[in-house]
Amino acid sequence: NIYISMHKIQNSEKVIQNSLLWHGNQLKMTRKKFTRYLTFALCYFVGYFSRVPMYFDRSVPTRNDSQIINEIYKEAINKSAETFLRNGGLVDASMISLGHGSKIRLWDYFGPSYNCISRERVGKIGDGGKWLCGVRTVLAHRFPCIVYSIGSKGEISFEQGVQEKLPHCEIHIFDPTLTSEQKKNIKDSLLNIHFYDLGLGAVDGEFRIKNRKALWTQRTKDVYPVQTLQTIMSKLRHTWIDVLKVDIEGGEWAIFEKLFEQVQIIPATQIQIELHFLGDAKVALNFFNNMKEKGFRVFSVEPNYYGRTAENARLMVEYSFIQVNDEGRVVWEEPSRSILD
């Protein structure tokens, strides 16, 4: 009995030793795992907040995306300004070709100088689609999301694209030039949209077309009701527009010239606009300079090849602008002062 008892005690000691050994190893492993995870977490957060690549590769620049984008933009506009002056500046206001012959066009001085990281085409390929910025990264999470579409001629692939990609966005279409058939097609093709038989104007009232050859408007009538952007937004109780699409067949110059005078801040994050050259390069230059002063930068340029002749590619160009603040960051939210102040 004594022998059996001593044997049981020895076995118990071995069990206890093995148990202590096992728990000790587990503790060591737990400490190793904890240390490993803590190290990884510290590396991740340091890399994320300081934009230092993982594993601290010092051969890669540590500047953030905004600084690099801002630097590229400044270099691009400075180069354009220097080239414009070197080529003689505004040679002839009636010519779309500026500088040395036909190899440099007006539009070349205002190329896409801002890098939108998440640029995306919305609408069909070809005439009608527009380039937007931040569709999936920002606009998909904007509540409310307001889209103004001013002018369409009944071509609504852009609006359909917005509705497919951003079903929560409010779409407001303004066009007093449409036929009854075109209006019906819009209402049948788009759900939950707001249509207004109204145009954008430099002043509230009526817009009378005196020289139809100077504009690309439809021949539905000669007088159209129009309102300023301030009046439209006030009536709809909007203070900020996420996407402002403008295609008004040459009427954009006078309207934006007035808008630049009237407001300090244009209440839109991005503006997709088709510019139609009407023979005065000075007007176009003033437009681009004013857009720059208001904080808008070009992130997409696309000639319109789809007119009656090849000349349209020189006269009609699709531009996408985005508004940034003094630090070069995109203005997604309503600033302290807006168009309605």
* Residue 319: predicted pLDDT: 97
Which residue in 137, 125, 134, 132 sits closest to 149, CA to CA? 132
CA 250 to mean position of chain CA atoms: 23
Highest average pLDDT, of 60-64, 86-90, 270-274, comes from 270-274
Average pLDDT over residues 5-12: 54
* Residue 211: predicted pLDDT: 57
Average pLDDT over residues 105-119: 90
Confidence of residue 126 (pLDDT cuts 50, 70, 90): confident
Cβ atoms within 10 Å of 40's Cβ, excluding its own: 11
Decide if 301 contacts 111 (C-beta within 8 A).
yes
- Asked whether residue 290 carries a pLDDT value surpassing 50, the answer given is yes
pTM: 0.77
Average pLDDT over residues 59-72: 71
What is the tens place of the pLDDT at every residue in 237-283?
999 999 999 999 899 999 999 999 999 999 999 999 999 998 899 99
Higher pLDDT, 274 or 37: 274
Highest average pLDDT, of 13-22, 94-103, 255-264, comes from 255-264
* Residue 29: predicted pLDDT: 54
- Asked whether residue 128 carries a pLDDT value surpassing 60, the answer given is yes
Both structure tokens of 95:
């010519």
Which residue in 166, 334, 333, 150 sits closest to 248, CA to CA? 150
What is the tens place of the pLDDT at every residue in 187-239?
888 888 999 999 999 999 988 876 555 454 555 667 889 999 999 999 999 99
- Asked whether residue 83 carries a pLDDT value surpassing 80, the answer given is yes
Which residue in 97, 119, 100 sits closest to 277, CA to CA? 97
In the chain, where does DSSP find H-type helix? 2-50, 65-86, 157-165, 180-189, 229-236, 252-262, 281-293, 312-315
d(CA 25, CA 315): 78
* Residue 154: predicted pLDDT: 84
Confidence of residue 57 (pLDDT cuts 50, 70, 90): very low
* Residue 61: predicted pLDDT: 42
Which residue in 69, 128, 44, 77 sits closest to 316, CA to CA? 128
Confidence of residue 60 (pLDDT cuts 50, 70, 90): very low
* Residue 31: predicted pLDDT: 62
Decide if 312 contacts 302 (C-beta within 8 A).
no
Beta bridge partners of 40: none
Mean per-residue pLDDT of the chain: 82
* Residue 315: predicted pLDDT: 87
Least confident of 48-52, 126-130, 186-190, 248-252: 48-52
Which residue in 67, 72, 63, 64 sits closest to 113, CA to CA? 72
CA 217 to mean position of chain CA atoms: 27
- Asked whether residue 1 carries a pLDDT value surpassing 70, the answer given is no
What is the tens place of the pLDDT at every residue in 312-336?
778 899 999 999 988 888 998 766 5
Cβ partners under 8 Å of residue 173, min gap 6? 149, 152, 156, 159, 186, 193, 194, 195, 196
